Structure 1
Amino acid sequence: MRKNRFMKKDNIFPITIEELEELLNSKFENNPDLTISKFEKQGKKAMIFFIAYQVEGNMVEEYLYAPFLEKDIEWNNSTIMNEIPLSRAKTVQSLNDILTDLLIGGVFVYIEGEDSVIAYLISKKEKRSLQQSETESVVLGPKIGFTESMITNLNIVRWTIRSKDLVLERFLVGEREPREVRIIYLKSLANEADVNTMKQRINELEIDVVDDSSVLMQYIEDSSSTIFPLFMTTQLPDRFSYSINRGRIGVLVENSPTALIAPTTFFSFFESTEDLYMRWNIGSFLRALRFLSFILSTIMTPLYVAAVMFHYEIIPTPLLINLGQSRAGVPFTPLIEALVLELMIELLRESGARLPTKVGQTIGIVGGVVVGTAAVEAGITSNVLIIFVALSALASFTAPNYWMGTTARVIRFPMIILGGYLGMLGLAFGLCFLVIHLLKLNSLGRPYLSPLYPLRLQDFNKVFFRLPTEFENKRFKSYRPKNLIRYSREKAKKKKDIDE
């Protein structure tokens, strides 16, 4: 009967301290960060509650707890508000208002028998300024990045996902040096089987220490032998909240600025939150361009090697003449020529990434021009191959995710070798092997090539292209969210003028 009373009306006061504590714990899924302190004086009971990482702890202790317990004042709302004049104080009767204010740094005082609670907004201020992500660059949308502080990251998540339905489950991983790990999801959306799988994998870890979220990913992903990333990594809270709101599960690790997202698919690594901020047709074009770039990055240089060594007939005659002239002074076979040039590009890229930013940019641009020009003049390589290698390198950089771009560059080397020894037959064998390998992969138990396999045509507009907003009223079915509908399609189609 008590639960029915809470559900029927939003104003639940007056109730007992025990009832309020039970209600708050049920609403926040027994969140360990929900701090509840109970007191009793002269037959009256009181309770102070707040979310620990959302408020300034020292300020709460000094300006609220101390005067509340030490001053000889009568415990009622009017007296407490007069004697403890913290800024932005107010009384709240609505349960929804209480839950909302808790998420943004509210501290509440409830005196048993009163018809409202006293609310103080004592939000936590960040210790240092937040910075842009170093590994994920965006043109449109929020640019703030996660930091190494778990408290800061949780604060950011709460600010970006202001829902009382958000669950942040806490785990300690590491026997020698325990570190805090948080599993974050929306209870009304995330698939329960996926949540339980993630909890089980983290609970069963028996390791000394988790150095970073990327290390944790290697321990809990479905396959450790594949070169393809099975969990999404991101430093952008914007991308993190986007995934959580689509029914996926996020993981934060203490002392790591990178968050994990699961389950994921192969195609989700080519999505960008910028696609949402653009017109649907432009976003679709850019997404298709990224898919094409990945394919070109993988097969462009191997295709050149296979054609020059085995299949002259597929090269147009004018181009074949120019190609023969450019390779006239090259002493190496196309296979060795391509491998050496690809290795030089990788050395330049890696050295540029490890050097300070300004020096690294100079090394990447000047070094590429100087080395390429010198290689052609020395007769080590041909002009045509430099164009192919440069285009392959540029294509690999279009992937929004660093891991997938690196995967494309690594795959290119065995494909070059197959093309150099077996020609087009070798390329066909390599591509078939990749497809079969991708078909066998799973991410948190979900098919990695979904919605292509198993085939779900209704999810194609979530992966390969975008549609106008009135047609995107459903969530990605392949993730099996509890609630598939985002909004009413009929209402979205209606356009009303301001005077209607």
Structure 2
Amino acid sequence: MKRYSFFKKQENHKSTDFTDVLEHLQKSKDFTSFTLNFENEIYCVSFFDTLIDKDIMHRDLLPFLHTNSSTLEELVHNLPIEGLVFTKNPAELQSQLLMGYIAITLNKSDQAVLVKAANNTSRQVTLPEVEFSVVGPKEALVESLDTNLYLIRKRLPIAELAVEEIIVGKLSKTRVAVLHIEGIANSENVETVIQRISDLRVNQIIDSSYISQMIEDNKNSPFPQFIDTERPDRLAAVLGEGKVVILVDGAPHGLLGPSTFFEYFAAFEDYFLNWTIASFFRLIRFFAVLFSILMTPIYVAVLTYHYELIPKDLVSTLVISRSGIPFPPILEALILELAIELLREAGARLPTKVGQTIGIVGGIVIGTASVEAGLTSNVLLILVALSALGSFTTPVYQMGNTIRLIRFPLLLMAYFLGLLGIAISFCFLLVHLLRISSLGRPFLEPLYPPRIYDMRDALIRLPFFLQAKRPIEVQTEDTVRLEPKEDSKD
């Protein structure tokens, strides 16, 4: 209730005229308002120093104010600037000034001309850092929404590419753009995204992850339901498949949906490689994730309850490895797993060069010291290290975080119930995945519901000529994306 009363209070606080607006804004030290007298005409120019490009003001605005203009309409004809806006609304005057406009009034009238002069200083387009690829384009999104739209539009120079812009955030007034291709994207998906974003009642939207958490179908699930990507080429590709893309001003990542579970194991670089190589890499990633989730729990379960499953050739190795270890397998595994997580978190929070050093040196020192001190076995140390490497193979960072979390419940169930506990946990995990949806579409598609055609780009990637139609799960209006070649007649 406090939140809604705050919004109501903010909405009722509106200035009544231009003078009140300017006086209110002048409390800020970076707000400037001055007058210019030309014969009988008095111009009042108001703006925020930190929001405008002063070159535009001195080059395209101030030199033309001395012209003989008795009205604002005449002034507009003399200004060599496009996109001028007339307003008599004090609330609009205030909002546009805060967006980087310059307000001009003439002879203290109740009408103003708004000149767009926003300072669009932003980071230059650089290489992708999270989704780097050896082959393919080397451009990444930046924090400027206009720049990101340019990076996508230059790859899709078609009139059907539609951009819906929504202002979200009572305080931040963040621009959120929803992109889709008319005639291809399912209108229900587009309307669902726009409706959910429009219904948001929040103070601030700082990054696209805020939007993702607020509009996803299952908010309590650890599994992401929107793919977060920094690659404009990937966004352009999924738009062509009929998906919906969300861009947020100030966020160097875009969201795409609906998504499926298997898409989180498919790197966009797979489409730049031969289909056999790409399929092999996808299978490696998938089995590496399974190994990462199951290996340590299986170790704990076997040594605690099912030691008869250990091959005779490995018994002596495990006995020698665990001789002198004072802890049961579960504590041994938790110590190493938590040590790996601490090293990973510390490396992520430190500067790049220092973080790499901490990760390598810390892993070697702690691993060697723990084995020599008799706290952990060298066999488990190898398994935990391989499990950590397996979790790094996921191309989408959010899914990697989910995999890190899943291992700990499986470890505890393996300790209490052995392999039966792992099986029960896996059943719960599968049921949870079956219940998840992304924009109302099944998350485990094409396994459930079974769609044989979409299997061609799931665990494996078949050649492009065998993927002539768009994925069924997106429910596109135009299903054909690769038209068959017509045979030439002699």
CA distance in 2, matches of 1:129, 1:207: 30
Q: 1:173 aligns with which of 146, 168, 175?
A: 168
Tell me which residue corresponds to 2:136. 141
| Matching residue's letter, 1:396 | S
* Contact preservation (8 Å) 2:292, 2:390: yes
1:489 is paired with a residue whose SS is coil
2:441 pairs with 1:449? no
1:241 is the counterpart of 2:241: no
Report the secondary structure of 2:128's partner residue: coil
Stretch deviating more after TM superposition (427-436 or 199-208): 199-208
Tell me the SS of whatever aligns to 1:274.
helix
Please state if 1:129 is matched with 2:124. Answer: yes
* Change over 3 Å in CA distance of 1:126–1:272 after alignment to 2: farther
Shift of 1:469: 2.2
Distance 2:294 2:123 in 1: 45
Of 338, 342, 359, the match for 2:354: 359
Mapping of residues 172-191 of structure 1, within 5 Å: 172-191=167-186
3-state SS of 1:145 partner: coil
Runs of 4+ displaced beyond 4 Å: 125-128
Q: 2:211 corresponds to which residue?
A: 216
1: distance between equivalents of 2:203 and 2:476?
Answer: 34
Distance 2:302 2:375 in 1: 19
Alignment of 1:5-154 (within 5 A): 128-154=123-149
- 1:425 and 2:420 aligned: yes
Percent of paired sites with the same residue: 45
| Helix, strand or coil at the partner of 2:324 | coil
Correspondence for 1:396 among 391, 397, 401: 391
Tell me, what secondary structure is at the counterpart of 1:410?
A: helix
**Equivalent in 341, 347, 355 of residue 342 of structure 2:** 347
Shift of 1:175: 1.8
* Counterpart contact for 1:217–1:260, Cα < 8 Å: yes
2:411 matched to which residue of 1? 416
- Using the size of structure 2 for normalisation, the TM-score is 0.75
State the alpha-carbon separation in 2 of the partners of residues 468 and 207 from structure 1.
45
1:489 counterpart letter in structure 2: P
Q: What's the TM-score once normalised by structure 1's chain length?
A: 0.73
The verdict on how the C-alpha distance between 1:127 and 1:177 changes in structure 2, with shifts beyond 3 A counting, is closer
CA distance in 1, matches of 2:457, 2:121: 36
Structure 1 contact 147–257 (Cα < 8 Å) conserved: yes
Q: C-alpha displacement at 1:332, in angstroms?
A: 0.4
Q: Is the 8 A contact 1:306 1:419 kept in 2?
A: yes
For the residues of structure 2 that align with 1:180 and 1:330, how far apart are their CA atoms?
A: 58
SS at match of 1:188: coil
Q: State the 1:129 CA deviation.
A: 2.7
Contact 2:465-2:482 at 8 Å conserved across structures: no
Q: 1:216-257 CA distances to partner (integer Å, 9 max, x unpaired)?
A: 111100011100001110111121111111110000111111
2:462 maps to 467
Give 1:263's match in structure 2, choosing from 242, 246, 258: 258
Unpaired runs of at least 5, structure 1: 1-56, 71-83, 85-124
Q: CA separation in 2, counterparts of 1:349 and 1:366?
A: 12
Distance 1:290 1:495, change over 3 A: farther
Compared CA separation, residues 127 and 353, structure 1 to 2 (3 A):
closer
Question: How far apart, CA to CA, are the structure 2 residues paired with 1:209 and 1:236?
Answer: 25
Letter in 1 for 2:404: R
Q: Tell whether the 8 Å contact from 1:126 to 1:152 is kept in structure 2 after alignment.
A: no
Q: Distance in 2 between matches of 1:329 and 1:241?
A: 58
Pairing partner for 2:330 from 319, 328, 335 = 335
Residues 122 and 144, structure 2, Cα contact 8 Å, conserved in 1: no
Deviations 1:364-415 (A, max 9, x none): 1111111100110000100100111011100000000001111111100110
Q: Distance in 2 between matches of 1:392 and 1:152?
A: 39
Q: CA deviation at 1:331?
A: 0.4
3-state SS, counterpart of residue 475 of structure 1: coil
The aligned residue for residue 317 of structure 1 is 312
* Cα distance in 2 between the residues matched to 1:485 and 1:131: 34
- Paired AA for residue 392 in structure 1: S
Tell me if structure 2 keeps the 8 A contact 1:188–1:482: yes
Whole-angstrom distance in 1 between the partners of 2:488 and 2:340? 53
Could you tell me which residue of structure 2 aligns to residue 279 of structure 1? 274
Residue 128 of structure 1, CA deviation:
4.8
* Secondary structure, counterpart of 1:482 in structure 2: coil
2:367 aligned counterpart, secondary structure: helix
Q: Give the one of 381, 384, 399 matched to 1:386.
A: 381
Q: Distance in 2 between matches of 1:127 and 1:321?
A: 62
In 1, Cα distance between equivalents of 2:124 and 2:171: 32
Rounded to whole Å, the distance in 1 between the matches of 2:189 and 2:122 is 35
Query: Which residue pairs with 2:475 in the alignment?
Result: 480
